[in-house]
Amino acid sequence: MTKLTVTDPDAREKLHIAKVLLGGYAAVSALTLLAIVVFSGDPDIVTGAVWIRGSILAVASLITFALGVSMENGSRRNYRRVRIIALAQAVAVVVIESIPGSFPIWFKIANGVCGALLVIVVLITFARSVRATFAAS
């Protein structure tokens, strides 16, 4: 795995912020899964679709956070992975949010928060200083 030392202070700060945001994404996803478990007896609050999407979201967020930690530590490969995964997940959130009646409102709010965090991560990872840091040498 190609690791590099991030010397640009702007890129270093942006990578740190991206990692923190991915940690927030993981925390919101874990809390959402906890809410699913707690309220699982109420089919108006927790549907089968909520179980599936909530479980996928929790697992994906933890994986993405782990990749973000590695990215901050200079992993070029995981930088690319975070960019692709965060973008794909943000698009998935937009699609899910746009389907009327697909999920209860509480879940759409949690999903929207995750989506907002991911959009910021995408913007950060596409910032000029970050791209320049991970450009092939």
Mean local confidence (pLDDT), 114-119:
97
CA dist 103 and 74 (Å) reads 38
Q: What pLDDT does 69 receive?
A: 97
Q: What pLDDT does 7 receive?
A: 82
Question: What count of Cα atoms within 13 Å lies in the side-chain half-sphere of residue 33?
Answer: 16
Q: Residue 124's closest CA among 70, 76, 83?
A: 83
Q: Assess whether pLDDT exceeds 90 at residue 16.
A: yes
Q: What pLDDT does 102 receive?
A: 84
Q: What b-and-e string marks burial along 8-37, b requiring 16 or more CB atoms within 10 Å of the CB?
A: eeebbebbeebbebbbbbbebbeebbebbe
Q: Residue 59's closest CA among 85, 20, 96, 94?
A: 85
Q: What is the pLDDT of residues 68-115, one digit of tens each?
A: 999 999 999 999 999 999 999 999 999 988 988 889 999 999 999 999
How sure is the predictor about 4, in pLDDT bands with cuts at 50, 70 and 90?
confident
**Tokens of residue 29, six digits:** 């996803």
Q: What pLDDT does 38 receive?
A: 97
Q: What pLDDT does 136 receive?
A: 61
Asked whether 29 and 112 are in contact (CB, 8 A), the reply is no
Q: Assess whether pLDDT exceeds 80 at residue 1.
A: no
Using the structure block, give the residue that is written with the tokens 């995408």: 122
Contacts of 111 (CB under 8 A, 6+ apart): 32, 53, 57, 93, 96, 97, 103
Q: What does residue 8 show for φ and ψ, rounded to 5 degrees?
A: -70, 120
Q: Flag whether the pTM goes above 0.85.
A: yes
Q: What is the pLDDT of residues 42-63, one digit of tens each?
A: 998 999 999 999 999 999 999 9
